[in-house]
Amino acid sequence: MIGYLEGKILHYESDGILLLVGSIGYEVLLNPQMVEKLRSQDSNQGTEDSHVSLYIYYHLTERQPKPVLIGFETLNDKEFFQTFITVDAIGPMKAIKAMTRSVGEMAIAIEKKDVAFLTSLSGIGKRTAEKIIATLHGKVEKFIAVTGVSKEIDQNKIPIEMHNIGQQVADVLIEQLGHSHSSAKRMIKEAFERNTTISTSEELFDEIFQEKR
């Protein structure tokens, strides 16, 4: 079974990529957010053949006899996906299309029983959203810590709503500004400790960089 692939992106599809590994091309499905992220990176770098590493969920059943490879950026994302498909009526194909928001945001919505958020996901109606909450509530808290920031925030008893803000800011600090995961985590933790009234990502950025001025 294929569990991990690393190679060059040969072509983009609306729902995934053609990945060249050695001399073999693999069709890999990705969630919409991941496709957009990879396209954006290619555009910024001025290249169309960037390399990518993916953890793979291999899907093959009697009803789906053609093997399907579904790719994830991290093992955490893959584990959330595997948890997500335990919900009745959500199979792998529906699940990957529904993952139009980050794992952290989806986990927060499930823990908050936020039906409105879940119905904003592709292909998820109200009844399905209610099934998701009934099945997964209390089981996805660990996925809120997608960037490793939330665990630090929890220790300081900052409300769950702040997790998403911390995650957004961490993504920018790491991916756009070049900070390490540990450095981003530390800066965010210290900012929340200095100012517990932070309620937006903009305020969190201001607090982080005000300290450096």
Q: Pick from 142, 161, 181: which residue ends a domain?
A: 142
pLDDT of residue 199: 78
Query: pLDDT averaged over the chain?
Result: 84
User: Could you identify the residue written with the tokens 């060249």?
Assistant: 20
Q: Are residues 37 and 79 in the same domain?
A: no
Give the residue with greater pLDDT, 18 vs 158.
18
212, pLDDT greater than 70: no
pLDDT of residue 211: 54
Please state, in angstroms and as integers, the Cα–Cα distance from residue 158 to each residue in 49, 102, 127, following that order: 42, 20, 31
pLDDT of residue 45: 61
Q: Are residues 4 and 63 in the same domain?
A: yes
User: Could you identify the residue written with the tokens 């660990």?
Assistant: 142
Q: Are residues 66 and 96 in the same domain?
A: no
Q: Are residues 182 and 200 in the same domain?
A: yes
- Most confidently predicted of 32-41, 71-80, 153-162, 190-199: 71-80
61, pLDDT greater than 60: yes
Q: Are residues 90 and 158 in the same domain?
A: no
Q: Pick from 94, 117, 142: which residue ends a domain?
A: 142
Tell which residue, 97, 101, 37, has the closest CA to residue 70.
97
Least confident piece of the model among 2-6, 37-41, 143-147, 152-156 = 152-156
pLDDT of residue 92: 94
Return phi, psi of residue 117, to 5°. -65, -50
Here the tokens at position 178 are 């070049």
pLDDT of residue 66: 83
Q: Residue type for 115, please?
A: V
pLDDT in tens, 2-26: 999 999 999 999 899 999 999 999 9
Alpha-carbon gap, residue 62 to 97, rounded angstroms: 21
Say how many domains are in the chain: 3
Whichever domain contains 118, its CATH number is 1.10.150.20
Instruction: Write out the residue range of the structural domain in which residue 39 sits.
Output: 1-73
Q: Pick from 83, 107, 142: which residue ends a domain?
A: 142
154, pLDDT greater than 70: no
pLDDT in tens, 108-128: 899 999 999 999 999 999 999
Tell which residue, 156, 162, 150, has the closest CA to residue 201.
162
Whichever domain contains 17, its CATH number is 2.40.50.140
pLDDT of residue 157: 44
Alpha-carbon gap, residue 14 to 136, rounded angstroms: 29
pLDDT of residue 145: 54
pLDDT of residue 191: 84
pLDDT of residue 102: 87
Q: Are residues 47 and 61 in the same domain?
A: yes
Alpha-carbon gap, residue 137 to 131, rounded angstroms: 10
When pLDDT is averaged across residues 163-177 and rounded to a whole number, the result is 79
Q: Are residues 111 and 166 in the same domain?
A: no
Task: Name the pairing type of β-strands 16-21 and 4-13.
Answer: antiparallel
Q: Are residues 104 and 88 in the same domain?
A: yes
Q: Are residues 12 and 41 in the same domain?
A: yes
